[in-house]
Amino acid sequence: MFPERLRALRRGENITLKQLAEALNENLSGDEKANTPSQIGNWERGIRTPSYIEAKKLAEYFDVSLDYLTGKTEKDEYDLSKLFLSGKELTYNHRVLSSEDRYEIYQLIDGYLYGRTHRKDTDKFYSKQEELDLNLND
């Protein structure tokens, strides 16, 4: 499962083995060996298995859990409340969200979900709404 997930993640990002190796090598500690494209290719083909440290670097790079990467879970999911309250830098359309932005968005989502559970006739309400255009390319 690991080789397939790694290959799919890399191809999904549209990066080469060389680009991935270079990205993984950016923050090497003192005694760490640099990753090579052929090494990563061997991981993708299942010929070799990365160490825990290498797997962790891959998970961090692709922003997925180790459980997802190793096939322990079928989907990689995040609890948005934890993400908004975490120390991670969050962006939206390449704009960094300030702590105030994060808190406001958290409150909006929380309010929406609370209201949805307490609203009657939600089918009638949403059937009259316009569809949201999420074309973010503009």
pLDDT tens-digit map of 80-131? 777 777 777 888 888 898 888 888 888 898 888 888 877 765 555 555 555 5
Longest CA span, the chain: 63
- Whether 85 and 66 map to the same domain: the answer is no
* 102, part of any domain: yes
pTM reported for the whole predicted model:
0.56
22, two tokens = 């270079």
Beta strands in 40-119 (DSSP E): 91-92, 95-96
| Residue 107 belongs to a domain | yes
Question: Count of residues for the chain?
Answer: 138
Same domain (yes/no): 61, 89: no
CB-side neighbour CA atoms (13 Å) of 75? 3
